Structure 1
Amino acid sequence: MHPFDSVLSAMQIRSSLFVRMQAHAPWAISFDSGAQARLVVIAKGRGWFTHAGYPPVVVQQGDCLIIKQGVMGILGDAPDRVAVPCWHIADHVTGEAVSFGGDGEACEFFSTLFSFDHAAGEPLSALLPDVVQVAMPESDAGRMVSILEQIGIEEAHESLGGSYVVGRLLDVLFIQAIRTWASAEGNMPEGWLAGLTHRQLSQTLHRIHADLAHPWTLDQLARSASMSRSTFAALFKSVVGIPPLTYIATWRIYQAKLILASGQSITTAAEQTGYGSDIALSRAFKVATGMSPGQWRREQTM
């Protein structure tokens, strides 16, 4: 499985509080997603989005916002409006259109909270800014609105298997937004996604992810990329942001977290990530996270 696919699969994205909003100027709504992230898609019209420390930006039909958990933002018809909290407008409303604001120009948008397994989502979440703004191509924008409308239908009617359908539709929306954002010029950050799409490094990274437990050496990795050790190490760090062996260690700890979170033993996690013994894994795990594997697992269940 492609590393990007495996991360998305492990994240187990789930939606809640889906709502379609019809705002009329003057209007402004504040989003505070708390422990959940938020997806907003502008279906018609335009507005301004603001979040702390950044200048206001225009969002318009076809634009998509992914707002990370814990990030507050304001969407309105102008950047200086007094905002009404989202929950005042749409608390406990799902699958229905909610109108608010005045009697001026209209803006229609969809908003849904979504949550995911944060340990599983670490590699992707670390790459994304607090707010991802995506200007979708017209064809994709129309498709996203159609998918959101289908989510609204599923949420409203509570059909058989509806939660599963909503989950898969949300996966499609999220993946399409991330794809479009990452492919836009200047957006791809240094990190594993940059490495996986790099012409000279992608095959080597795929080999690493296919067998994280292998006792990789810098010589082996450089040979797989048909480069000298020094050239490979320098290129890898410039693209991915960290040295090759540090990268492998980081992903081994990530994989160990997934194994531990699934209820398997520390011994199993050590064997499947190449550490060979509980002691070796525990030592590396504590260096990376500041706690032992057992402590980390207990914190996840609290």
Structure 2
Amino acid sequence: MDPVDDILTTMGLAHRSHHRVTASAPWGVAFSGAAPMRLVVVARGRCVLSEGGGVVELGAGDCLVVRGGAEFVLSDVAERVPAPAREVLTAREVAVGGGGAGCEVLVAAFSFDAVAAEPLLPRLPDVLRVSLRGGNLRRVLATVELMVLESGDGFGSELVLGKLGDVLLVQVMRAWCAGSGDDRPGWLAALHDPRLSLATRAMHGDLAHPWTVASLAGRAGMSRSAFAAAFRERTGESPLAHLTYWRMHRAKALLREGRTLQEIAVRVGYETDTALSRAFRRAEGVSPGRWRGLVARVGDSGGEACPVA
């Protein structure tokens, strides 16, 4: 499986709420960092993002993925004194402001499985800006429109809205992952390299295979030494360290599914459950059984450790 698909499939995204804000100057809304994740989509017009002492102007097609704990303000101008979101977002459809220049923004909140999202989300900035154009923008705006159309009280509307909210976030994240730039986590940078991507996708597609640096280099069409050097330069780690990390990531997902250690060992490239346990303890500091018990008590990001607001 492609690593991006792997993460987005297993991280258990759950749409918790959304609000379509039709704003006109003067206006300003301040968002707390209570939600595990927020998605902001500017569907029409322009507004200003204020976060962490910085100010950024946003336009139609700009999206924000905001990590839990990050506070931010959306407004017509940076100097505007905002109202708290909890006082403004009292319904799914909200109109704010005084009748000046207009802007339409969709704001959605999500919970997710923090363990499954570990390879991606902790590596993102507190506020990730994704500027959509072309087909990516059309797909996102179409999903926003479908959410607006489903916002009534019809049969099954909550189920449909939840699924559409998940789709919307995946569309934005997919567009960012597929884009170019230097702000990608190391393993995503490898996926954008024409040669390294061949080896990286092969590795992720079959974690149980007894990969060596030489066999991965062969997939990339490179010498062993050139591949190892290029991989470390792009990702910051060796090919086999990367392989071990993703094997442990997959093992943790399977542990949470209740799989036996022997079954997990076979699926992630270890001959015995003892070999898996040794590798797991080296990587995580605890045995697989102990880890499973600890995670079962903590729960997902939608639980006590990371409440949805």
TM-score surpassing 0.5?
yes
Which residue number corresponds to residue 190 of structure 2?
Answer: 195
Contact 1:13/1:170 (CA < 8 Å) preserved in 2? Answer: no
**Greater relative CO, 1 or 2 (CA 8 Å, sep 6+):** 2
Aligned length: 297
Q: Secondary structure at the match of 1:250?
A: helix
Which residue number corresponds to residue 127 of structure 2?
Answer: 131
Q: Secondary structure at the match of 1:255?
A: helix
Post-superposition Cα deviations, 1:37-80, rounded to whole Å, max 9, x if no partner, equal 1111112221111222x521001122111112222111111223
Which residue number corresponds to residue 17 of structure 2?
Answer: 17
Amino acid at match of 2:40: V
Q: Do residues 159 (structure 1) and 158 (structure 2) align?
A: no
- Greater mean deviation of Cα atoms: 189-198 or 251-260: 189-198
Listed as ranges, the gaps of 5+ residues in structure 1 are none
- Greater mean deviation of Cα atoms: 64-73 or 118-127: 118-127
Contact 2:49/2:74 (CA < 8 Å) preserved in 1? Answer: yes
d(CA) in 2 for partners of 1:189 and 1:201? 15
Contact 1:62/1:142 (CA < 8 Å) preserved in 2? Answer: no
d(CA) in 2 for partners of 1:169 and 1:41? 14
Post-superposition shift, 1:104?
3.0
Contact 1:181/1:187 (CA < 8 Å) preserved in 2? Answer: no
Which residue number corresponds to residue 251 of structure 1?
Answer: 246
Listed as ranges, the gaps of 5+ residues in structure 2 are 298-309
Q: Do residues 148 (structure 1) and 148 (structure 2) align?
A: no
1:260 corresponds to which of 255, 260, 285: 255
Q: TM-score, normalised by structure 2?
A: 0.86
Amino acid at match of 2:192: T
Contact 2:195/2:220 (CA < 8 Å) preserved in 1? Answer: yes
Post-superposition shift, 1:159?
2.7
Post-superposition shift, 1:108?
1.6
1:225 corresponds to which of 209, 220, 225: 220
Task: Say if 1:294 and 1:105 are closer, same or farther in 2 by CA, change over 3 A.
Answer: same
Amino acid at match of 1:119: V
Q: Secondary structure at the match of 1:181?
A: helix
Amino acid at match of 2:80: R
Q: Secondary structure at the match of 1:64?
A: strand
Supply the RMSD in Å over aligned alpha carbons.
2.3
Task: Say if 1:243 and 1:210 are closer, same or farther in 2 by CA, change over 3 A.
Answer: same
Which residue number corresponds to residue 302 of structure 2?
Answer: none
Q: Secondary structure at the match of 2:22?
A: strand
- Greater mean deviation of Cα atoms: 287-296 or 241-250: 287-296
Post-superposition Cα deviations, 1:100-141, rounded to whole Å, max 9, x if no partner, equal 233432222111111222222222214422212122215543
Task: Say if 1:299 and 1:243 are closer, same or farther in 2 by CA, change over 3 A.
Answer: same
Q: Secondary structure at the match of 1:284?
A: helix
1:101 corresponds to which of 65, 85, 97: 97
2:113 corresponds to which of 114, 117, 121: 117
